[in-house]
Amino acid sequence: MKIKWYFLTFTVAAFVLGMTNTGRSAEVLFQDYDAVIVEDLKVPTGSPAPESSGVQMAEKAVYQLIRYSDKYKLFDMVVKEGSKSKEVPAGKKVLVIKGEVKEYTMQSVGRRIGRSFIPGGEFTGTAAFAAHYQFIDKASGKVIYETDLRTGATGGNDTVEYAMDRNGEALAKVITKYKGK
């Protein structure tokens, strides 16, 4: 009988102590950075993605980062590389975001028809976009973090442009997570 009480007490204590650590956030990799520079994504040769998709995705990423930065007070400034309207002042710690397009899947009527036979399948999209991102400290040139993000379109917004918008938002969410906000 004593063994059962010790086991029960140990189990409850382990459960309570385990629950106290769930509120902690992930690593805070980007906490010290004041500004972000987003470079145009590279489009590999032979890719189905048009050359302009790298520039377009960089603009979408800047838009989403500015949106999230205004909401959560992430950075003092978010700039697209080569922007003449804004330059990062000296003394700011700068994070550079580089990327490469990995997938560019156009919407397909055939896939939409096929998915319509699946219950709830008509609400899924067929277009997708994926990219590999590197987060680099500008001063040292060192890669701090790398990630692959793949997003798809949904239902009535079945376009690659919408999948790219969602990819930019996913990028902003990753930065928000590792900024500690």
Residue ranges of the chain with per-residue pLDDT less than 70: 1, 6-8, 10-26, 110-113, 115-116, 120-124
Strand order in the sheet with 143-154: 77-80, 35-38, 94-105, 124-137, 143-154
Per DSSP, what are the bridge partners of residue 97?
Answer: 38, 135
d(CA 75, CA 61): 14
Architecture of domain 29-179: 3-Layer(aba) Sandwich (3.40)
Residues contacting 78, CB < 8 A, separation 6+: 35, 36, 38, 62, 65, 66, 69
Q: What is the radius of gyration, based on Cα positions, of the chain?
A: 22
d(CA 50, CA 129): 12
pTM here is 0.80
Distances (CA, A) of 73 to 35, 76, 94: 11, 8, 16
- Domains of the chain by residue range: 29-179
